[in-house]
Amino acid sequence: MSLFTSLEKKIVLVTGGFQGIGREVVTTFQNEKAIVIAADLSYQNSDLKRLNDFEYQIHLDVSDETSVKNLADQLKTQNLTPNILVNVAGISTMDYLIDSQTSDFDKTLAVNTRGTYLVSKYIVKLMVAAKRPGKVVLIASQAGKNGYRAMSAYVASKHAVLGLTKTLAIEVAKDQINVNAVCPGIIETSMKHRERKDGAKIRGLTADDIEKEDNSQVPLGRTGTPKDVANVVLFLASPLSDYMTGQGINVTGGMTMN
């Protein structure tokens, strides 16, 4: 029997649910028989599309307030106010700060910070109005606790996500909504593989050099998988974490310990 049987038929909204960590989170909740709404820029349908008993999909641009409001309105109309919100959607750009493009900085913060703000604002507002206690999990990063070369925009955006986590946790504690963040380390996704190529070009190395460097920094001896992150998201969404709020939980193989 699963430890998380209480998640059966709970409504879970996952942004960035098309691929990578987001898709693994969707699958993990489905395995617990939760009803998952996967929202992502890659989906074409602007109306909620029901695929089966366990998944809906909808196009969502987290940086666009109209798009986020459209999602919230449809969830309310169709009686799908989430019990659990998982904000995964995020992007990264790479360059040394003094060489970087302001447009890249703006784009990164628009998705990672503004997007987290907008989705949290509209979806948590639904949860509060429906008097629906629940869980909010924001995907931050160990980059929200440290600095990394050639990633100033990403680092700034993820520090901001941790700030939003702490503030929202205080504000909705009275509504019995727990708000926590997961801070992944080096996770093997398509975004990470692209970052290795971009970082190698900037630093005059090869992508293989960067991969070896990545592995050498992790005390547990390997980089992470999307499943490593999804498992912690599942814990934070479950009753096992009922006395936790406002936390930034590292999933880094020991690379970040603070």
Q: Say which CATH number the domain at 242 has.
A: 3.40.50.720
Position 30 in a domain: yes
CB atoms within 10 A of CB 203: 15
Helix intervals (H) in the chain: 20-31, 65-77, 102-109, 115-129, 152-172, 190-203, 207-216, 226-237
Position 171 in a domain: yes
Give pLDDT, residue 142. 98
Position 217 in a domain: no
Options 43, 148, 154, 243, the catalytic residue:
154
Position 131 in a domain: yes
Residue 111 in 3-state DSSP? helix
Helix (H) or strand (E) holding 85: strand 84-87
Q: Name the domain count of the chain.
A: 1
Tokens 């641009």 -> residue: 61
Give pLDDT, residue 1. 47
Amino acid at 94: M
Positions in the chain whose pLDDT score sits under 70: 1-5
Catalytic residue flag (residue 56): no
Position 255 in a domain: no
Give pLDDT, residue 6. 87
Position 127 in a domain: yes
Residues 6+ apart with CB under 8 A from 116: 62, 87, 138, 160, 161, 164
* Residue span of the structural domain in which 45 resides: 5-189+225-246
